[in-house]
Amino acid sequence: MTALIFDCDGVLADTERYGHLPAFNATFERFGLPAHWSEQEYGEKLRIGGGKERMASLFDDPAFAAAVGAADRTESLLTWHKAKTAAFKRLVAEGRVPPRPGVARIIRAALAEGWTVAVASTSAEESVRAVLENAIGALIAQVPVFAGDVVPAKKPDPAIYELTVERLGLDKKQTLVVEDSRNGLLAATGAGLRCLVTVNGYTRGEDFTEAALVVSELGDPGRPPIEVLAARGPARPGDLVTLDDLRACLSGGDE
């Protein structure tokens, strides 16, 4: 059976810029922490997999560590991250983090064709489910989610994709991953899966050599045509990505 696995952040929605970054900064302000990330600084933090891990990197700054003086960093990080997740969910509920073009269209079409569709992310499960429900509504009942701390290592470690394949009994040769970053691409290919990349503003300049197809977005009718940034297989999308293009990504073989 053909399967399609979506990452969440940057794939289902442009969550980093419009959701996670403002949620982090709101949390820093709420707890009186001497930190505020600009868009450029947050772009650097995205190299670190996982929200708690990004927060933990604040302690790499001796001035921050001295100012906060948290006796139990682990407990503090859990408290901060819980508050950050709640702030993120509020932004999603308020419509501040709209789905990326083509996501609902492709998921709806794939389910109608009998494909297995899942989401695999190492972000907090509550956040992932909020974004997915905002994108596809009631169809969320048909899309299993693997997220949060269900695996010990974050992307680019392939653990989250290996878990998803194992739990759903998927055929790796018939499973395509949709990612947006090099870390995600490496996680997918490290698990032996083909990968399509939909770039965003933070990741457009990254190296996606291993991807079967790299596009600006999945696209929707009535929108400007997508940009095809790299095609290393038979897939040749037109104005938007279709299920036939996804099938072509799987049939392309290794280059």
For tokens 């992310």, the residue is 121
* Joined tokens for residue 171: 């055929």
Task: For residue 72, indicate whether it is catalytic.
Answer: no
Distance of alpha carbon 134 from alpha carbon 13, whole angstroms: 9
For residues 84 and 24, the answer to whether their CB atoms sit within 8 Å is yes
As given in the structure block, the two tokens for residue 178 are 């949709």
C-alpha torsion sign, points 129, 131, 132, 134: positive
**Per the residue annotation, which of 7, 14, 157, 245 is the catalytic one?**
7
Question: Is 149 known to be catalytic?
Answer: no
d(CA 46, CA 7): 14
- Single out the catalytic residue among 9, 14, 157, 245: 9
Cβ contact 176:246 at 8 Å: yes
CA distances from 207 to 183, 191, 211, 218, 255 (A): 10, 18, 9, 19, 16
Cα dihedral sign, 202-204-210-214: positive
The answer to whether 52 touches 76, Cβ cutoff 8 Å, is no
Instruction: Provide the token pair at 135.
Output: 């994108």
Residues noted as catalytic = 7, 9
